Structure 1
Amino acid sequence: MTRPNGRTVRDLRRENRTAVLRRLYFDGPMSRFSLGPATGLSSGSVSNVVAELVAEGLVEEAGSVDSAGGRPRILLRVAPASGRMIGVDVGETRVRVELFDLTLTELARAERPLDPAAAEGERYDVGVVVGHIREGVAEVLRTAGVPAEALLGVGIGVPGIVEHPGDGGEGGAVVHGQTIGWDAVPLERLLREAVDLPAGVPFRIDNGAKTLGQAEMWFGAGRGAASAVVVLFGSGVGACVTSDP
């Protein structure tokens, strides 16, 4: 069924689920009563969406708070064990790989050094970096006892400009890193070939300054701000500007 504005019932359902999960993720725990004004949804829509998310194991109860004269209100939160994510930072002196639950609680960490005494080009040899990521992913999954099938995705921050050909075209993300000697490196394809993960687990690759800027806006010093600037200094200079549209 298509609505007059072109959106289908499926689109509306997905938008409602996203709105509830987003508020619980960033502002939870919250009650159903509080989710209404926070998301702009009716109480009936909130109840339906929450019931679906609880049944799917994505949301769980997290205690209760007193209400004004009525029954205590049940608090809800995103269920930490409902998914796992891996974050990778390709830095100047090391590759760091971290495994998180869905609330970004760190479950395991692995680091592989990049030899600072080596020549600049050798220090960022593509094969070495890909190997470090492959080994790090395997280590954190093994350490935490998490099956690869439980992963929602792998996010990777790299120095340089990241090109996403055709938004999902063949080959995936390509990295152009002048300061590290990378010229049109098909990093996503190389990782997909090297890292032992199910085909359905996506790799999300982007510029390190951009990923750091987004993290600061969500969870760090920029939280609640309308706009922010993050600048990184190293062998090169990277910057991210984030603002409300």
Structure 2
Amino acid sequence: MTMRTGRTVRDLRRENRTAVLQRLYFDGPMSRFSLGPATGLSSGSVSNVVAELVAEGLVEEAGSVDSAGGRPRTLLRVTPGSGFMIGVDVGETRVRIELFDLTLTELARTERPLAVESPHPHERYEVGVVVDHIREGVAEVLRAADVPADRLLGVGVGVPGIVAREAGEGAVVHGQTIGWDAVPFERLLRAAVDLPEEVPYWIDNGAKTLGQAEMWFGAGRGA
């Protein structure tokens, strides 16, 4: 069914689910009562969405909190093990690969050193070496935490340089200081790293990824 706004009932349901999950992810644990004002949804909509998410194992109960003059309210949170994420940082001296659950609890970490003794950044950041480090590191953290690759929700990669997105190539990295001239980095990773095709890569400039993290979880929250 299509609504007057052009959105379908399916679109509205997806938006409601997204609103609840976002608030629980960034601000949880929260009660159903608190989710209403936080998301702008009615109490009935919140109850329906939460029931679906709990049934799917995406949300779980996380204790309770006293209410003013009433029964304690049950707190809800995103289920930590309902999905996993990998973060990669291509830094000045090493490539770091970390595996997280949905509460951003670190489950495994590994680092691969870059050739810091080389006076030329072009040699230190040789594309094939960086790709190999990521391929080996992803396999290692998944193995260490015993997490199947098909449980990954995505891989985020911070790189030095400017990132553009081109049709058929995905993320392309331009980094003159490290000798990367329109490197089809996403395509190279997809060809080398043993992950299902449906696992998305989110590749961006490393400084921008740090800024985004601060806005979401650090000193920049609310900015």
Taking structure 2 as the reference length, what is the TM-score of the superposition? 0.98
Structure 2 CA distance for aligned equivalents of residues 110 and 212 of structure 1: 19
Q: CA deviation at 1:69?
A: 2.4
Q: CA deviation at 1:127?
A: 0.1
Matched with 2:213 is 215
Cα RMSD after superposing both structures: 0.8
Q: Partner of 2:170: helix, strand, or coil?
A: coil
Question: 1:95-144 CA distances to partner (integer Å, 9 max, x unpaired)?
Answer: 00000000100000010001111122110000000000001001100111
Q: CA deviation at 1:8?
A: 1.2
Matched with 1:69 is 69
Letter of the 2:197 counterpart = A
Q: Partner of 1:164: helix, strand, or coil?
A: strand
Matched with 1:172 is 170
Q: Partner of 1:206: helix, strand, or coil?
A: strand
Question: 1:52-91 CA distances to partner (integer Å, 9 max, x unpaired)?
Answer: 1001111000001122222211100000000000000001
Structure 1 CA distance for aligned equivalents of residues 35 and 89 of structure 2: 34
Number of aligned residues: 222
Letter of the 2:80 counterpart = P
Letter of the 1:215 counterpart = A
Structure 1 CA distance for aligned equivalents of residues 116 and 68 of structure 2: 61
Structure 1 spans left out of the alignment, 5+ residues: 227-245
Q: Which runs of 4+ in 1 moved over 4 A?
A: none
- 1:79-94 matches, cutoff 5 A: 79-94=79-94
Letter of the 1:203 counterpart = Y
Q: CA deviation at 1:177?
A: 0.6
Structure 2 CA distance for aligned equivalents of residues 178 and 213 of structure 1: 22
Q: Partner of 1:110: helix, strand, or coil?
A: strand
Percent identity of paired positions between Structure 1 and Structure 2? 84
Structure 2 spans left out of the alignment, 5+ residues: none
Matched with 2:6 is 6
Letter of the 1:18 counterpart = T
Taking structure 1 as the reference length, what is the TM-score of the superposition? 0.89
Matched with 2:143 is 142
- 1:106-125 matches, cutoff 5 A: 106-118=106-118, 119-125=120-126
Structure 1 CA distance for aligned equivalents of residues 69 and 121 of structure 2: 67
Higher relative contact order (CA 8 A, sep 6+): 2
Structure 2 CA distance for aligned equivalents of residues 180 and 56 of structure 1: 45
Q: CA deviation at 1:21?
A: 0.6
Structure 2 CA distance for aligned equivalents of residues 215 and 2 of structure 1: 37
Matched with 2:48 is 48
Q: CA deviation at 1:178?
A: 1.2
Q: Partner of 2:111: helix, strand, or coil?
A: strand
Structure 2 CA distance for aligned equivalents of residues 26 and 177 of structure 1: 33
